[in-house]
Amino acid sequence: MAAAATADTDESLHSLALLADTGAQTFLPGHGDPYHGDIAVAVAHARSLPVV
């Protein structure tokens, strides 16, 4: 996650947890292609990346 892309990194990480809890299989981000798959897997991947 790019710290420059958010004013509140902690809140962004909390939002990721909320997304994972939905159990969604399709996610429509505000940009880019739709994500098809387990949202919890995508969230785990996002959390594994360094905050820069």
| Mean pLDDT, range 34-52, rounded to an integer | 91
Q: What is the DSSP letter of 36?
A: E
Mean pLDDT of the chain, nearest integer: 89
- Asked if 39 contacts 22 with a C-beta cutoff of 8 angstroms, the reply is yes
Q: Give burial (CB, 10 Å; 0-12/13-18/19+) of 17.
A: exposed
Please report which confidence band the pLDDT of residue 33 belongs to, taking 50, 70 and 90 as the band edges: very high
Q: What is the DSSP letter of 27?
A: E
Please report which confidence band the pLDDT of residue 34 belongs to, taking 50, 70 and 90 as the band edges: very high
- Asked if 50 contacts 2 with a C-beta cutoff of 8 angstroms, the reply is no
d(CA 35, CA 6): 21
Structure tokens at 43: 């969230």
